[in-house]
A and B are shown apart, each in its own frame.
Chain A
Amino acid sequence: MERPIRVVVAKPGLDGHDRGAKVVARALRDAGMEVIYTGLRQTPEQIVETAIQEDADCVAMSILSGAHNHLFPKVVQLLKEKEAEDILVVGGGVIPEDDIPGLLEAGISAIFTPGTPTTVTIDFIRENIRKK
């Protein structure tokens, strides 16, 4: 039996819009994935604990508030501390071009800026999760 890929879709930071995250969540579901949707204003600690308890293959985060340079790497760092760095981390939202290399350097596997077709995100997740 083919097991579904499990993705935690999280919205860290203080901005109050999760429309983008919901669009991604639905697209991933429609691609046959199990999406654990966590809602607004998640702290990195909450996201990492959720990913661990849910045995997620991937954490997908979206940020509009501009706090990505702090929050995305923080999630990667906490996953490392919990020996869960094998969980794929991807990010999206309003992220300036100039910030992307630094985020990739910090261990975020991909950044999807607005306008990226959801199929690109889906394919990236499928191809890059660790095979269990």
Chain B
Amino acid sequence: MDIKAGLLNNNKRAAARLITMLENGIEEALDIIKECYHLTGHARIVGITGPPGAGKSTVTDKLAKALRKEGLTVGIIAVDPTSPFTGGAILGDRVRMSDLSTDPGVFIRSMGTRGALGGLSKAAHGAVKVLDIFGMDYIFIETVGVGQSEVDIVKLADTVIMVMVPGLGDDIQAIKAGIMEIGDVFAVNKSDRDGAERTAAEIEAMLDFNKQEDYRPSVVNLIARDNVGVDKLLEAIENHRAYLDASGRYRSRKRDSLRTEVIEIFKENVIRSVARLEEDTNVLEELTESVLERRIDPYTAAARLMDSFTENGV
């Protein structure tokens, strides 16, 4: 299969295979992305996060359907945790999106966190690029809003929707440290339940503390299951995007996220180069031995490692 040609000719199989290759760190996949990178930048990227079971997949399903009605295409990346013990995962988000499977204008990909350092973030970056090149107008990334790796992914997004549910109470307190700040739009889902208004009020109260000078996140009550409030949520996403564009924040947000990405790739390349250098020279092992014997210190060792890098032209 010619993956690049397929990717550019609306072949989902090719796109799917390329995502797998990126996920598994296969070099040829990077070459294809390099050749097609100029085609990225079209998609609007929306992160959907929040506690387990809050309704993130249901919200994503309904938003995607609303956008499809407007003739827009939608990519969805749904992330679920990998078991740290077996490396396996049950990726169950598609259960709420069954009708979208056969829609030619939708592409859904499930992903396990796979534990490894930054591994998920790398895979999600890759999948976003593939779906962007594939021509999707919107890309949603669903992740459970706990932990740093999720926060990292969400930084990929232009707009982040925090999905909450009534009666979280103390949970909101727990979530707010660090994570509350990343929400650009708050959806109080399951507003058919008691306490929805109070939860919305609590979020509003918290937003009073986190005031940004020129943008205040909207809080939208939602019953995603029954498709109630989805138009309001879509409007809130549009409003955030309009704010980003008008204020110049869109570019600065993209710049920040790209800078981080370049640094991440750079670090990874350095680490890979060390591994390759080590195959021929053992320099790292020797330096480590010297530190172990207290002949040199770790800072000096790192500096010498850097030197042998430059000498070897890596």
- Which A residues are closer than 8 A to B by beta carbons? 1, 3-4, 6, 25-26, 28-39, 42-43, 45-46, 49-50, 52-55, 82-84, 132
Contact = CB atoms under 8 A, between A and B. Distances in A.
B95 A37 contact: yes
Nearest to B95: A39
Interface stretch (B101-109, B185-193, B197-205, B273-281): B101-109
B12 A52 contact: yes
Give 8 closest A-B pairs by Cβ, nearest first.
A39-B95, A29-B88, A55-B16, A46-B101, A55-B20, A37-B92, A32-B87, A49-B101
Contact of A38 (B86, B89, B98): B98
Contacts of B13: 52, 55, 82-84
Contacts of A132: 20
Nearest to A47: B101
B91 A55 contact: no
Given A53-B107, A55-B19, A36 B101 contact: no
Contacts of A83: 13
Given A30-B86, A39-B92, A84-B13, 9 more contacts: A4-B89, A4-B112, A25-B90, A29-B90, A35-B89, A36-B91, A37-B90, A54-B16, A55-B17
Given A3-B24, A54-B109, A49 B88 contact: no
Contacts of B112: 4, 34
B94 interface: yes
B108 A53 contact: yes
Interface of B: 12-13, 16-17, 19-20, 23-25, 82-83, 86-92, 94-95, 98, 101-102, 107-110, 112, 114
B89 A34 contact: yes
B1 to A, nearest CB: 8
B98 A53 contact: no
A25 B86 CA distance: 13
A104 B231 CA distance: 48
B88 A35 contact: yes
A27 B307 CA distance: 50
Nearest to B78: A36
B136 to A, nearest CB: 12
Contacts of B91: 34-37
B256 to A, nearest CB: 29
Contacts of A34: 82, 88-89, 91, 110, 112
A32 B12 CA distance: 26
B95 A50 contact: no
Nearest to B15: A53
Contact of A50 (B87, B92, B94): B94
A45 B104 CA distance: 12
Nearest to B116: A1
A80 to B, nearest CB: 13
Nearest to A83: B13
